[in-house]
Amino acid sequence: MDRLAVYLRGSRVGTLIADERPGDYSFVFDDHVVRAGAGETVISVSLPVRAEPYGPLEARPFFEGLLPERGIREDIARNLRISEQNSFALLSAIGRDAAGAVVLLPENEEPSTAGTIDWLSDQQLVELIRRLPTSPLGVSGTSKIRLSLAGLQRKAVLVRSGDGTFGLPNESAPSTHILKPQYPDTEYNNLVYNEAFCMRVAECVGLSVARTELIFVGESPCLLVERFDRSTDGETRIRLHQEDLCQALGIVPGLKYEGEGGARFSAIFELLGDVSYRAGADVLALIRAIAVNFVLGNNDAHGKNFALLFGESGLQLAPLYDIVSTAVYPEVENSLAMSIGTELNATAVGSADLLELARECHLNPRQLADEWARTAARTAECAQSVAGLMRAEGLHVPVIDQIVELAQQRAGQLSPDSE
């Protein structure tokens, strides 16, 4: 197989063509797409519609962004007996249900949302969770599952029915939920509680976030995330298109950190100003999101942790996801994924860095500082209130107290009286 048909919302838009170099590929839009709108954004801001093919260097940021990262990618490749470096083969094998509304299929296949669902009993779901370390996303050599989802964390990608039953989507069936289990052998203690807490705090502050729920599968606590790039119309599951901001900015996943050439906040603000149909609201939402991530200690908030959602009215900032306080884990790199001003050391961030950030991003310095101070104070308040709610619900763990303490400390750094 040297060609993959690329579909968007069920309509073919182009072809992925294997390159002479193993694993590499080019992308070309179909003629009817070019005739309909040269220069338009169809699948990615970084790949505007044109007649000329996009070579490997241009095509890779978007399509590599559809694949899981590092360890998860290695495990899937091993299970499928594919070279981990062979991106084209991986996209061929697991490109039928990726993030957004893009589906990759052999040229002789037609897209369908009618793939079967293997509905799971409670015990089968427990067993699936147990196998995830060796079968990431549920993908194994004998599986009919053909899905892909970026990221590093162990997770199952599932369908959830109206009555709460979970199932594995087969072939081209769209998934609807992501299940992230807590494993007792991980060094990141109570990670699912951490993420559940941080997501609830961000929602309390007033940010748009992916819907999450802390559930138990057998004895294992799991974070259940409803996919915001999926919708349901009766019994029909519909894919909604999205791309993360590394894809939109043409940055390959391996360079997602600013220090490695990844996205800077200035580039993201500029992008939102250029492509969002509600740029003012999205710029304000991003300012608040940066403050919330900072206060909660999410030092790992890089370009792949923000996304654009393609709606009927145009592009807009997607709901926030993957908000985790990494600063409470000594094992995790403590520098910021994206600098505030020129500062990557979170403990050193102060008002001067906010002024530098405002200058770089062409924002009003006083308005930025005031908004950050308000959002930081509100985040610290919400951290305390959400901690109380989770305690009342029987979901409190020590890491939550650590995050609350950190939030108080970091909110103080952004207070107008701190310097």
Average pLDDT per block of 10 residues along the chain, 419 residues long: 90 94 90 94 97 96 88 77 84 85 88 78 92 63 42 76 89 85 76 96 98 94 94 78 96 90 94 97 96 95 95 95 92 86 91 91 92 95 98 95 96 71
What is residue 147's predicted lDDT score, i.e. its pLDDT? 43
DSSP 23-74: T-EEEEE-HHHHHHHTT--SS-TTS---SSPB-HHHHHHHHHTTSPPHHHHH
Known catalytic residue: 244?
no
Among 75, 244, 282, 300, the one annotated catalytic = 300
Asked whether residue 326 is assigned to any structural domain, the reply reads: yes
Look up the domain containing 132 and give its range. 117-231
Asked whether residue 22 is assigned to any structural domain, the reply reads: yes
Given 85, 106, 127, the domain boundary residue is 106
Residue 97 per-residue DSSP state: B
Q: What is the CATH number of the domain that holds 336?
A: 1.10.1070.20
Asked whether residue 312 is assigned to any structural domain, the reply reads: yes
Same-domain status, 48 and 31: yes
The helix (H) or strand (E) run that includes residue 161 is none
Could you give the CA distance from residue 200 to residue 386 in angstroms, rounded to a whole number? 7
Burial environment of residue 289 by CB neighbours within 10 A (0 to 12, 13 to 18, 19 or more): buried
Same-domain status, 268 and 361: yes
Same-domain status, 355 and 296: yes
Could you give the CA distance from residue 98 to residue 413 in angstroms, rounded to a whole number? 40
Same-domain status, 219 and 261: no
Task: Yes or no: say if 191 and 324 are a contact pair by the CB < 8 Å rule.
Answer: yes
Same-domain status, 175 and 247: no
Same-domain status, 53 and 21: yes
Same-domain status, 223 and 245: no
Asked whether residue 279 is assigned to any structural domain, the reply reads: yes
Nearest partner of 250 among 25, 64, 29, 18, judged by Cα? 64
Same-domain status, 226 and 281: no
What is residue 136's predicted lDDT score, i.e. its pLDDT? 58
* pTM over the 0.85 mark: yes
Same-domain status, 409 and 274: yes
Same-domain status, 273 and 407: yes
Given 187, 214, 231, the domain boundary residue is 231
Asked whether residue 212 is assigned to any structural domain, the reply reads: yes
Same-domain status, 256 and 381: yes
Given 180, 212, 231, the domain boundary residue is 231
Angle at 198 between CA 185 and CA 371, to 5 degrees: 150
Same-domain status, 25 and 157: no
Task: Yes or no: say if 48 and 30 are a contact pair by the CB < 8 Å rule.
Answer: no
What is residue 141's predicted lDDT score, i.e. its pLDDT? 41
Q: Give the relative orientation of helices 398-413 and 279-296 as an angle to the nearest 10 degrees.
A: 120
Asked whether residue 148 is assigned to any structural domain, the reply reads: yes
Asked whether residue 418 is assigned to any structural domain, the reply reads: no
Could you give the CA distance from residue 69 to residue 75 in angstroms, rounded to a whole number? 10
Q: Which amino acid is at 20?
A: E
User: Count of domains in the chain?
Assistant: 3
Asked whether residue 419 is assigned to any structural domain, the reply reads: no
